[in-house]
Chains A and B, each alone.
Chain A
Amino acid sequence: MRDVLGIINDTDIQHKLKDLTRARSTAAVPYGGRYRIIDFVLSNMANSGIKNIGILTQTYNRSLLDHVDSGKEWDLLSKRDGLFILPPTFGYDQFTGSLGDVDHYYNHLDYLIRSRQQYLMLSNSNIVYNMDYRMVQKYYEEKNADIVLIYKNVDLSEKNSFRVLSLLIDNNGQIRDMAASKEKRLSPAIALEIAFMKKTLFMQIIDDCIARGYRDFTKDGLIKNMDKYRIFGFEHKGYASKIDSINTYYKHSMDLLKPEIWKELFFSHGNIFTKVKDEPPAKYQASADVRNSLIANGCLIAGTVENSILARGVTVHPGAIVRDSIIMQKGQIHRGAVVENAILDKDVVVTPGKQIRGEKAYPLVVEKQAVI
């Protein structure tokens, strides 16, 4: 897919991720013990053979820039094409949008124009999935489509606290109706905010929107143009989850404890790459009791860990208990402390005997570097 330009949109502010996104964008939120959420889409693009990738960022991007660095972990460090950071060109919080923001795209049209690629793969930064985009391009050609939107069939009873793009798809795969709403569902098909089209078509849609004062790519660029363009839906049958709140973050992180999901996400179409660090192996002391958990390298475990995810360099001292929790990098849980249903951001210290308890439906979030 050398002829495809990858665009990752990280301009959406996920306010409901609360403390996790106070100092970082959604793309840079730690995930699965050693990843950042953006690693999934970035690896999908790299594994599919996309060699030119632009990331639209927001103001808090230090953490993301540090993480992706030169792009070498995704094999994107190259003299031709490579990884491009497209920083915000205006106050990002003036806008709220779903599938990208027309103004953001418009301000970086130059990057699109200068890229040699003919096609465009567009994805939001907050989706956890492992997918071979080459299938999408094949489908696009087969259907002679103008635009392909990737969708997933979900349970209609599933409530969502955010606007989703609901689709009505005919037998031939063409999208006949779309609705962007919190409640309205046209069918079980929900767009994953991943799209494939010709670069020139994308630029034309952006241009049309700007000319008419429209700002929402989904509503103005796609829904209003439904009759003008042949828009098709491509079903992603595998696992995909959208991280847009503390609850979805917690729930979907815990999905990784199911071996079939762990295997699919990390090994199905190609590996998920991330910034690699030199950490020693995880060490389990004689007193360690670890069950149903994901443990990253560099952890030192002497206590009890159940149904939890421990990121790199976490220490669980003897007699400490961690249950149903996510502990990010270098967290320290001291002797006799108890952590339950909680999300501890990086470098949190829980001093001896302290107890931190949230509820499964409302996990407690402890901000970075807090000492409890």
Chain B
Amino acid sequence: VTVLPPYVRHDGGHWYLGTANAVYQNIDFVDQFDPEYVLILSGDHIYKMDYNILLDYHKEKQADVTLAVIEVPWEETHRFGVMITGKHNEVLEFQEKPKDEDAKSNLASMGVYVFNWKQLRKFLIDDEMDNQSNHDFGKNVVPKMLEENYKLYAYPFRHYWKDVGTVQSLWQANMDLLHDNPELDLYERDWKIYSVNPNQPAQFIAANAQVKQSLVNEGCQIYGSVETSVLFQGVVVGEKSSLKDSVIMSSTKIGNNVSIERTIIGEESIIEDGCTIGQPGEGQEGITVIGENVVVKSGKTIPGGVEMNIDNCHEFGCIPHNIGEEGAETK
């Protein structure tokens, strides 16, 4: 794996201006491998796909571009680029984020593309020259190729797929894993999801703890109750604390008598004793977010829907981790 960040060059260089521009800026890198095909993916999607099958499909159809598509509810078509396809899954027309009443299809592009590199290379260069372009695959490059009568095919994907670009969808994707038989199976032995795995001991579930319908990771210590929640590594849940419908990231410590609902908490935050976070109420339906490295002082009540981080936590009477008024706070 090679990470390709934007870099400084003779003209000074600049940030990636769009998805297509990001690849354009790395044409030389791709050329080194002289590939026949290029697979373009997004980093913020949750799904399991065997790209071999996608590529075989691309070859079988002798396509110029293959786009993976998934059926979405009609009321959500306005969030996606949708494809109108023919009998053989050939793409006839493309609508980028159509208004609900205008949508002619609910086959949404997943942002997973197979291109023939030589063609894509040419289109990327042309697109770069086009001042009107947003330099985006979905908005510019793909429609342009369709316009010029290239052969675009849709590859229908029928398994779990989630774009987690918003707080709500990230939270939902986590909750989706908690059913007894979730659509996305993390436990398939021959299709593991690999990650960086920190070195932590097995999780400890205390005698008075209760853990139900949850995912819990190594290094966690649970003394309270955890229900329909996802806990990353090294999270501590104190005695008589209760956690519901929440996602707690690595090394966050939750004290005693704390109650948390529908909340995402970032890494290494501290929730002191007696806090109440994310309780539902009038106008408080949203998911509560506590950023990383925040200390929620004891006894605080944080209403549902609040988004707190180290920059605005003072407004809620909380402090960033390690720079407390009385000096360092590390416990």
Contact = CB atoms under 8 A, between A and B. Distances in A.
Contacts, number: 103
A115 to B, nearest CB: 27
A73 B198 CA distance: 11
B201 A295 contact: no
B99 interface: no
B195 interface: yes
B306 to A, nearest CB: 27
Nearest to B202: A33
A290 B201 contact: no
Contacts of A279: 197
A294 B204 contact: yes
Given A271-B199, A273-B199, A278 B192 contact: yes
Contacts of A288: 211-213
Interface string B174-194: 000000100000110000111
B69 to A, nearest CB: 28
A274 B205 CA distance: 21
A297 B218 contact: yes
B251 interface: no
Given A278-B197, A280-B193, A300-B187, A295 B212 contact: no
Given A286-B180, A286-B213, A296-B218, A280 B205 contact: no
Interface in A68-92: 73
Given A278-B192, A280-B186, A282-B216, A296 B202 contact: yes
Given A32-B201, A33-B201, A259-B206, A297 B192 contact: no
B68 interface: no
Contact of A34 (B192, B193, B194, B218): B218
A290 B215 CA distance: 13
Nearest to A265: B201
> Which of B193, B202, B203, B207 has most chain A Cβ within 10 Å?
B202
A49 B206 CA distance: 34
A259 B204 contact: yes
Interface in A318-365: none
B1 to A, nearest CB: 15
B216 A281 contact: yes
A289 B216 CA distance: 14
> Which of A34, A73, A273 has most chain B Cβ within 10 Å?
A34
A142 B215 CA distance: 50
Interface string A302-332: 1000000111000000000000000000000
B209 interface: yes
Contacts of A300: 187
A229 interface: no
Interface class of chain B by DSSP: loop
Interface in A137-156: none
A262 interface: yes
Interface residues of A, number: 41
A282 B199 contact: no
Contacts of A276: 197, 199
> Which of B186, B194, B211 has most chain A Cβ within 10 Å?
B211
B165 to A, nearest CB: 23
Contacts of B201: 32-35, 262, 265-266, 272, 294
Contacts of B197: 276-279
Given A32-B201, A34-B201, A298-B187, A282 B206 contact: no
B295 interface: no
Nearest to B214: A284
A247 to B, nearest CB: 22
Given A280-B186, A281-B216, A282-B215, A262 B193 contact: no
B238 to A, nearest CB: 12
Contacts of B193: 278, 280
B134 interface: no
A16 to B, nearest CB: 25
A273 B218 CA distance: 13
A272 B194 CA distance: 22
Contacts of B200: 266, 271
A282 B217 contact: yes
A293 interface: yes
B269 interface: no
B202 A278 contact: no
Interface string B219-251: 001000010001100000000000000000000
A272 B198 CA distance: 11
Interface string A123-147: 0000000000000000000000000
Given A274-B199, A278-B194, A284 B216 contact: yes
> Which of A265, A284, A302, A310 has most chain B Cβ within 10 Å?
A284
A195 B72 CA distance: 67
A291 B210 CA distance: 7
Nearest to A308: B205
A354 to B, nearest CB: 23
Given A274-B199, A291-B205, A298-B187, A286 B212 contact: yes
Contacts of A15: none
B217 A297 contact: yes
A62 interface: no
Given A271-B199, A273-B199, A293 B205 contact: yes
B180 A278 contact: no
A302 B195 CA distance: 25
Contacts of B202: 32-34, 294-297, 309-311
Interface in A253-285: 257, 259, 262, 265-266, 271-274, 276-285
Nearest to A293: B205
Contacts of B231: 281
Contact of B213 (A282, A285, A293): A285
Question: Which 3 residue pairs spanning A and B have beta carbons closest together?
Answer: A33-B202, A280-B186, A281-B215
8 contacts: A35-B201, A273-B199, A277-B197, A278-B197, A280-B192, A281-B186, A295-B202, A296-B202
Given A285-B212, A285-B213, A297-B217, 18 more contacts: A32-B202, A34-B202, A272-B201, A274-B199, A276-B199, A277-B197, A281-B215, A281-B230, A282-B217, A284-B211, A284-B215, A290-B205, A291-B205, A294-B203, A294-B204, A295-B205, A297-B202, A300-B187
Interface of A: 32-35, 73, 257, 259, 262, 265-266, 271-274, 276-286, 288-298, 300, 302, 309-311
